[in-house]
Amino acid sequence: MKRFFLGCLALVMLIGTGVASAQSIEKAIKYRQGAFSVMGWHFGAIVDMIKGKRPFDREDFARRAKIMSDVSFIPLEGFVANSFEGSTKSKVEIWANFSDFEAKLKQMQEAATHLSTASLSDDYDATKRAAIKLGKTCKSCHDEYRNK
Ligand code: ASC
């Protein structure tokens, strides 16, 4: 009887842990999606300014580029183990090639930092090139590691 209760207790604890980790995975997914959503918001405005769909305002552009560069360092921590299960487009390949994934994120961080610096100069062409380069780093990761 005692063994039966101990067995039940162990089972309840095991299920409890499983539920807790599913919850912490969902939290991590939401955390990183929040960061990507902030970046998407500002990059959308940056692209619109470059395309002439929105008036080019150097100060506003630089403010957004600074946010991009700061927030680019946020998502990595949210790619916790096994967080390809849940409400996410992240492919399982991220965890199979984690160092390559990290390298791609780093390229994005460098490109965002470069854009932020360029946007403080008066060199519009360099700023535009830096924005295009940043967009390419977004795309290269999405092509490989994000489900459609
Ligand atoms: C964005 C956004 C992306 C990238 C990508 C760049 O604004 O939401 O996912 O730019 O389209 O190629």
| Residue 9 pLDDT greater than 80, yes or no | no
Number of other residues whose CB lies within 10 A of the CB of residue 108: 22
Percentage above 70 pLDDT, the chain: 86
| Residue 12 pLDDT greater than 70, yes or no | no
0.85 exceeded by pTM: yes
Q: Which of 39, 42, 43, 72 to mutate to test the pocket of ligand 1 (most atoms within 8 A of CB)?
A: 43
Question: Which own/partner contact pairs does 48-56 have at CB distance under 8 Å and 24+ positions apart?
Answer: 50/128, 50/131, 50/132, 56/124
Conformational region of residue 86, where left means phi above 0, alpha means psi within -120 to 50, and beta covers everything else: left
Distance in Å, CA 82 to ligand 1 centroid: 25
CB 66 within 8 A of CB 2: no
Ligand 1 atom nearest the C-alpha of 142 is: 9
Residues with CB under 6 A from ligand 1: 40, 43-44, 47, 135, 138-139, 142
Q: What DSSP character marks residue 88?
A: -
Joined together, the tokens standing for residue 43 give 């990059």
Residue with the smallest CA separation from ligand 1 atom 10 is 135
Average pLDDT of the segment spanning 67-96: 97
pLDDT of residue 33: 98
> Which burial class, exposed, middle or buried, applies to 39 when counting CB atoms under 10 A from its CB (0-12, 13-18, 19+)?
buried
Average pLDDT of the segment spanning 14-32: 80
pLDDT of residue 21: 85
The per-residue pLDDT of the chain, averaged, comes to 92
Residue with the smallest CA separation from ligand 1 atom 1 is 40
pLDDT of residue 16: 52
Average pLDDT of the segment spanning 133-137: 98
Ligand 1 atom nearest the C-alpha of 47 is: 7
Average pLDDT of the segment spanning 117-128: 97
